[in-house]
Amino acid sequence: MLTVSKRARDIRYAIRDVVVFAKEIEKKGKEILYLNIGDPVKYDFDTPEHIKNALIKAVRDGSNSYSASEGVLELREAICRKEKKDSDIDIYSNKVMVTNGISEGLQMLLGALIEKGDELLVPDPTYPPYTAYMKFFGGKPVTYKTVEEDGWQPDVNNIRSKITDKTKGIVIINPNNPTGAMYDRKVLREIGDVAAEHELIIISDEIYDKIVYEGSFTSTSSVVKDVPIVGLNGFSKVYLMTGWRLGYVYFNDPEDELNELQESMKKEARIRLCPNTPVQNAAVAALDGPQGHIKETVGKLRLRRDYVFKRINEIEGVSCTKPEGAFYCFPKVDAIGSKWKNDKEFVLDFLEKENVLLVHGSGFGTTYGAGHFRGVFLPPIDMLEVAFDRLERFLS
């Protein structure tokens, strides 16, 4: 009898796993309000015209062949200019790899970094692929505390207490998915100090760097100077290119400590051939072309964030910290653990009775994420009003 590997059988990805339940309800003729996936283009946001036109031109001009495994040089140079302009980070094109989405970059990174039994410190709650890929490659994700009462800021002392001789690095997701937290410069610097003390690398996921509502975003590489940093970013969120699947990895590595890691990732890149060639041409236009859509996008999202934050905190038995970036809310539900056995049971009960799909918080972290749910505030306010009217009715 054919058997499959345990590593594949055990994969969990809560954000899309819950869709299976929603599709079963749709078969009964019900219409579902989807608040589970962070895809702006599913709602009333659209890829800017100059980026679409650049893709069409690339295809028509013949940019349809295989390209360099690490990405076309023109795009890697544009990424270096972007990081210098936005965060004053000096990186060079030979320290950049282009990937088919940030998820592929993470897969390649952990595939090159992690041996069986290795540990990686990840925030709790966290974006699920960090824990899923760690387990897939035989590693152990070790979660560190983020403090809800402090706007989900990382607890640096807790990070320090979790380090062992098997720890390979520390993951920072900023702005954070799923909480919307934006980390303080002081906290980033303190995490850098811990990493330097223990000779660890930092993995800094910055995919939401320009979707911020208060203050300004701080890249880890701009404040941590004495630690090798692997940065992850991409085009899905800020440039509204979710289905185009393009991301990048950069190595901020003043002492060349990451050379072997980067070379190993290049080998992984070669066996998948290359990123999408015409989309890379469009990505150059995204970085070098007009940026006006970003201000418009953030303005629309700020209004929706403010509406959702107010509505949630007006509903008895639910509370939420104010998201400062990204486009997620991560509320706590008091009755989970009493009326509902756990947060997944709450999410599925709400789905069945009110036809609104959220994601259970324990899918992002079984300690500090438990008892919460994640919802997106991407839809127009009239849709959000329907969804939160249903939530209020359900909880009452």
* Mean pLDDT of the region 114-129: 96
Question: Looking at the 3D structure of the chain, how many domains does it have?
Answer: 2
Asked if pLDDT for residue 11 goes beyond 80, the answer is: no
Confidence of residue 213 (pLDDT cuts 50, 70, 90): very high
pLDDT tens, residue by residue, 273-296 = 999 999 999 999 999 999 999 999
> Taking the mean position of all CA atoms in its chain, how far away is CA 126?
8
DSSP 3-state of 66: coil
* Mean pLDDT of the region 256-282: 96
Same domain (yes/no): 77, 32: no
Same domain (yes/no): 17, 165: no
Confidence of residue 267 (pLDDT cuts 50, 70, 90): very high
The pLDDT value recorded for residue 236 is 97
Q: Considering the chain, what percentage of its residues have pLDDT values greater than 70?
A: 100
Retrieve residue 157's tokens.
Answer: 């002392």
Give 251's contacts (C-beta < 8 A, 6+ positions apart): 91, 95, 96, 228, 229, 230, 231, 258, 261, 262
Asked if pLDDT for residue 216 goes beyond 80, the answer is: yes
Cα–Cα distance measured from residue 234 to residue 203, given in angstroms and rounded to the nearest whole number? 15
The pLDDT value recorded for residue 145 is 98
Cα–Cα distance measured from residue 195 to residue 52, given in angstroms and rounded to the nearest whole number? 41
Asked if pLDDT for residue 222 goes beyond 80, the answer is: yes
CA dihedral 102, 104, 110, 111 (to 10 degrees): -170
Asked if pLDDT for residue 16 goes beyond 80, the answer is: no
The reply to whether 323 falls in a domain is yes
More confident residue, 18 or 373: 373
Asked if pLDDT for residue 260 goes beyond 90, the answer is: yes
Backbone angles phi, psi at 168, to 5 degrees: -100, -30
* C-alpha distances in Å from residue 77, one per residue of 70, 74, 209, 287: 12, 5, 19, 10
pLDDT tens, residue by residue, 37-68 = 899 999 999 999 999 999 999 999 999 999 99
The answer to whether the beta carbons of residues 204 and 219 sit under 8 Å apart is yes
pLDDT tens, residue by residue, 105-121 = 999 999 999 999 999 99
Strands 356-357 and 33-34: parallel
CATH number at residue 41: 3.90.1150.10
H helix or E strand, kind and range, residue 357 = strand 356-357
Retrieve residue 168's tokens.
Answer: 């390979």
* Mean pLDDT of the region 360-383: 96
The pLDDT value recorded for residue 12 is 79
Amino acid residing at 318: V
More confident residue, 351 or 5: 351
CATH number at residue 263: 3.40.640.10
* C-alpha distances in Å from residue 209, one per residue of 83, 194, 220, 232, 250: 11, 23, 11, 11, 15
The reply to whether 1 falls in a domain is no
Retrieve residue 328's tokens.
Answer: 């997620």
Same domain (yes/no): 30, 124: no
Same domain (yes/no): 170, 239: yes
Confidence of residue 18 (pLDDT cuts 50, 70, 90): confident
Name the β-bridge partners of 154: 146
Q: State the average pLDDT for the chain.
A: 95
Segments forming the whole domain that contains residue 387: 6-46+293-395
HEC states along 305-345?
A: HHHHHHHHHHCCCEECCCCCECCEECCEECCECCCECCHHH
Retrieve residue 92's tokens.
Answer: 């060079």
Same domain (yes/no): 320, 211: no
Q: If 0-12 CB within 10 Å is exposed, 13-18 middle and 19+ buried, where does residue 373 land?
A: buried
Q: How many alpha carbons lie under 13 Å from residue 103 in its C-beta half-sphere?
A: 12
pLDDT tens, residue by residue, 142-200 = 999 999 999 999 999 999 999 999 999 999 999 999 999 999 999 999 999 999 999 99
Give 272's contacts (C-beta < 8 A, 6+ positions apart): 69, 100, 104
Same domain (yes/no): 68, 169: yes
